[in-house]
Amino acid sequence: MVQIQAISYYLPKQVLTNETLADLYPEWSAEKFAETTGIEKRHIAGENETAGDLAEQAAYRLFDEHQIKPDTVDFILMATQAPDYFLPATTCLLQDRLGIPKTAGALDVNLGCSAYIYGLALAKGLIVARIARNVLLLMADTPSKHVHPMDKSARPIFGDGAAATLVTAGEHERIGEFILGTDGSGYDKLIVPAGGMRLPRSAQTNQVVTDSSGNSRSLDNLFMDGNEVFNFTIDVVPQLVKEVLHKNDLTLEQIDLFVFHQANKFMLNFLRKLIRIPAEKFYVNMADIGNTASATIPIALRCAQEDGVLKPGMTVLLAGFGVGLSWGATILRWNT
């Protein structure tokens, strides 16, 4: 039996507001950014602040807020697409920095928007297989370090942040069955083309080009084909919801709260209406946070709990989708 015991999150102190963006992109107003994306401000990591640093702070908050002792953790999982190093894994560094026992396993996962679902699946598998009892699941990303400052198609959407979740063995099954999927043929729809072994960074990859829409970026920066990502989402997510409900023997009406990857306001509203989810059951909290990639779902869960929207006894459907292209969903029976 597996459950979520606690969730905490951390956001960098630096804030990027719509007003600042409007100064950079005169053709857009602060109000237009808010209307289009649903975001009014986003938190940005400092120049020397990494995803590993954000994850560390989220873990400290988890330990402090929920009186969890680091020496009880016997496995660390971290999902990020901004590791501190190519090698070693960032979780290896965090084991030492957080004071977690050397007997704990540590593993990084290179995944973004669907990563929390995959992370929960991996944590549940480790516990069911009796490899671990207390899994520290970390989600941390710094998309701002990938986005070119003058790419107005991406910069207004993304923020940096991290979340820490303790997944534990328990008396009751609180994490349900999973649906996971991948379509790697769409890998280039959301990508940082240069920087890996396929295309190492160079003077050539750092050359900035401005596209027909006025967005500037180089091959070292994140590229997002917004139309293709949107089409992928509306094709995949309704079926994903249908399949995860069926696998867990539930109906749409039996779900008390839906928490999706916090991509952007337009996409989420479109999906909600397409799937016919009542507005009062659909949680959105990106206005002051932005799209933090792997961390959006656990941050939303904690915020929903703090807002009094998420209460013990509720049945919650989680769905993540995006870079990969990748998707996943599961059901939580909330008990914290």
Query: Is the bond leading into 318 cis (omega within 30 degrees of zero)?
Result: no
Q: Do 328 and 294 contact (CB within 8 A), yes or no?
A: no
Q: What is the pLDDT of residue 213?
A: 87
Bridge partners, 14 (sequence order): 44
Share of the chain above pLDDT 90, in %: 92
Query: Domains of the chain, with CATH numbers?
Result: 2-173 (3.40.47.10), 177-333 (3.40.47.10)
Q: Is the pLDDT of residue 89 over 90?
A: yes
Q: What is the pLDDT of residue 10?
A: 98
Catalytic residue positions, numbered: 113, 261, 291
What pLDDT band is residue 62 in, cutting at 50, 70 and 90? very high
What pLDDT band is residue 30 in, cutting at 50, 70 and 90? confident
> Residue 277 contacts by C-beta under 8 Å, 6 or more apart in sequence?
252, 258
What is the average pLDDT score of the chain? 96
Q: What is the pLDDT of residue 25?
A: 87
Please state the rounded mean pLDDT for residues 5-12. 97
**Pairing outcome for strands 216-217 and 209-210:** antiparallel
Question: DSSP state, 38?
Answer: S
- pTM for this model (two decimals): 0.96
Q: What is the pLDDT of residue 335?
A: 86
Q: What is the pLDDT of residue 173?
A: 72
**pLDDT tens, 142-196?**
999 999 999 988 999 999 999 999 999 987 779 999 999 999 999 999 999 999 9
Element containing residue 52 per DSSP (H, E):
helix 51-66
Q: What is the pLDDT of residue 314?
A: 97
What pLDDT band is residue 5 in, cutting at 50, 70 and 90? very high
Instruction: Show the beta-strand stretches assigned E in the chain.
Output: 2-10, 14-17, 41-44, 75-79, 105-109, 134-141, 161-169, 175-182, 190-191, 209-210, 216-217, 223-224, 257-260, 315-322, 326-333
Q: Is the pLDDT of residue 6 over 80?
A: yes
Q: What is the pLDDT of residue 302?
A: 97
Q: What is the pLDDT of residue 33?
A: 82
Q: Is the pLDDT of residue 231 over 80?
A: yes
Please state the rounded mean pLDDT for residues 86-109. 98
Q: What is the pLDDT of residue 209?
A: 96
Q: In this structure, what are the phi and psi dihedrals at residue 62, rounded to the nearest 5 degrees?
A: -60, -50
